[in-house]
Chains A and B, each alone.
Chain A
Amino acid sequence: MLIRKPADIRSSDITPKEVFLRRRELLQAGLMAGGLALGGPAMAAILPPGRRAKLVDVAAGKFSTDETVNSYTDITTYNNYYEFGTGKSDPFENAQEFEPMPWTVKVAGHCEKTGIFDLEDFIRPYALEERIYRLRCVEAWSMVIPWVGVPLADIVRQYRPLSNAKYVVFETLLDPERMPGQRSRALHWPYVEGLTIAEAVNPLSLLAVGVYGEVLPNQNGAPMRLVVPWKYGFKSIKGIVSMTFSETRPRTTWERAAPHEYGFYANVNPEVDHPRWSQARERRIGSSVGGLQGILGAAKQETLMFNGYGEHVAHLYEGLDLRRNF
């Protein structure tokens, strides 16, 4: 379902306001009517409806670590997603009511195929794969997470970037009514992140739509988020509504918030400290009710260069001073 539209015009500019505001209801009504007429869904959805819906046809992907995976509870209750609040448990608490579907992704900028696409069409025809990646937060904690998604490289190529496209820029949904954290000015909204084209087409880069074999929970960035495991977690933008091919480097959200603390590259690097804390070590997340014994099990471990993914990504930064380009 490709809705052809000049990429620079927002749907709110050309749709009557009352129709625009009711677009979700209208879409839902339309989908229901279509479903009834055909006596069932026309095509099996890649992303089945409903919370914790099981994803089917998930192949085991490459690059998975065999480290102990964090529990579903840890992964879904300890999150940084300022759109739903700045506390670690805020996203879990405040995102329960959020209904991501239906969801569209706008593709714009220097590429041959632009437009607004339904999420299903945006990720079709690629098969889902599971990738168990380490995630290292800039706050010096880490997890191991079984993502399900589609390689970003496949999606980028599908939209055929032009030769002057140097960066891929992503934006999170801007909707303060549904994302209560956006009512405060903790960050500049909408959240913006970006990668160089080379980073985006690196085989490690993943657009995740699920975790633990199920659709993404809201607090983890439903319905679709980026996962770039060699970079600090804040690069892995959640709730993506647009992908723009740009000639110039975007001003990313955390870089804008504190440019001397968070850079554009944000590669995990134990040798370059955050101005206020060390990045040499990290704590592997893991809840415990085993008293002191259990707590002591969560000792800190050494942080690895590029979060241990150097063999796949180090070549991207040859000749780049990583101390300056942090």
Chain B
Amino acid sequence: MLFVLCLVPALLVVADAYGIGGTLGANPIEEIQDRFGNWGLRFILIALAVTPLRQLTGRNWLLRFRRMLGLFAFFYVLMHFLAWLLLDQGLLTSAIAGEEFDWSVITEDIFERPFITIGFAALLILVALAATSTAGQRRRLGRYWQKLHNGVYLAAVLGVWHYWWQVKKDFSEPLVYALVLAVLLGYRVWHHRLQTRVGSARNSRAGLPQNH
């Protein structure tokens, strides 16, 4: 059920591309990129909201959806990247026409346009996280798995930064994403401090040495 719901934004892009119910507007390729990019960021934030919600409400069943939400974030970010590569940069058009594609334009954009560089870096992180998201990989990686998957925080920061940097002047929308991310990360810092304090208080009561 939730799976189908998560697919709705992608299905709407397809429907609008065929003029069913809506359209993609005057600049369809930009619209596709923007929608996938926005949903990629939204799903990263939604996935990052699972742990705080679980801890605050005690609804542990929420945790079951975290992996799926994270994979949807990866899916939308990947679609955002593919829309840029295949449609915006025209790889698909060249391939259909059987023309040689100029890859230097792609590498130039990725390495010389900082906002694209950080967006691409975020994508690479998400690729690594998606590839190691199975239960088997988690077991195999052991304690390194959590370390690796803390990379989602970096990917989220890079993602919002990527959005912020490509806006021309009105930062109100990227600001909303930045604020939500700040709350989600701030909660973790606060929660961690609280845990440490509770932990050390217990330790001192038990007469154990404190390490700070």
A binds B: yes
Cα distance A42–B146 when bound, in Å? 81
Q: Are B28 and A298 in contact (CB under 8 A)?
A: yes
Interface string of A285-319 (1 = CB under 8 A from B): 11111111011101110000000000000000000
Q: Select the stretch in B86-94, B134-142, B178-186, B204-212 that faces chain A.
A: B86-94
* A283-B23 contact, Cβ under 8 Å, with A187-B169, A277-B113, A291-B18: no
**Known A86-B169, A139-B168, A289-B19: A296·B87 in contact at CB below 8 Å:** yes
Closest to B170 in A: A86
In chain A, residues 247-288, which have Cβ atoms closer than 8 Å to a Cβ of chain B? 257-258, 276-278, 283, 285-288
**Are the CB atoms of B169 and A295 closer together than 8 Å?**
no
In the bound assembly, the distance between CA atoms of A186 and B172 in angstroms comes to 9
* Whole-angstrom distance between the Cβ of A65 and the nearest chain B Cβ: 19
The 9 closest A-B pairs by CB, nearest first: A289-B19, A78-B26, A86-B170, A74-B26, A186-B170, A287-B26, A291-B18, A299-B93, A285-B26
Q: In the complex, how many angstroms separate the beta carbon of B104 from the nearest chain A beta carbon?
A: 12
Mark contacts of B104-120 with chain A using CB atoms, 8 A cut-off: 1 yes-contact digit, 0 otherwise. Answer: 00000100011100000
**Residues in chain B near residue A103, CB distance under 8 A:** none
A326 at the interface (CB under 8 A from B): no
B169 in contact with A258 (CB, 8 Å) = yes
**Across the interface, do A88 and B27 meet the contact criterion of CB distance under 8 Å?**
yes
For the complex, what is the distance from the CA of A295 to the CA of B83, rounded to whole Å? 11
Q: Is A202 an interface residue (CB 8 A)?
A: no
Is the beta-carbon distance between B113 and A295 smaller than 8 angstroms?
A: no
Number of A-B contacts (CB under 8 A): 80
Main secondary structure of the interface of B (DSSP, over half): helix
Interface size class, chain B: 20 to 34
> A286's contact among B18, B19, B26, B114, by CB below 8 Å, is which?
B26
Cα distance A295–B27 in the bound complex, in angstroms: 9
B24 within 8 Å of A (CB atoms): yes
CB contact between B25 and one of A78, A278, A291, A299 (< 8 Å): that residue: A78
Contacts A276-B166, A278-B109, A296-B87 given; does A89 touch B29 at CB 8 Å: no
Q: Is the CB of A141 within 8 A of B17?
A: no
**Which residues on the A side are within 8 Å of B32 (C-beta)?**
295
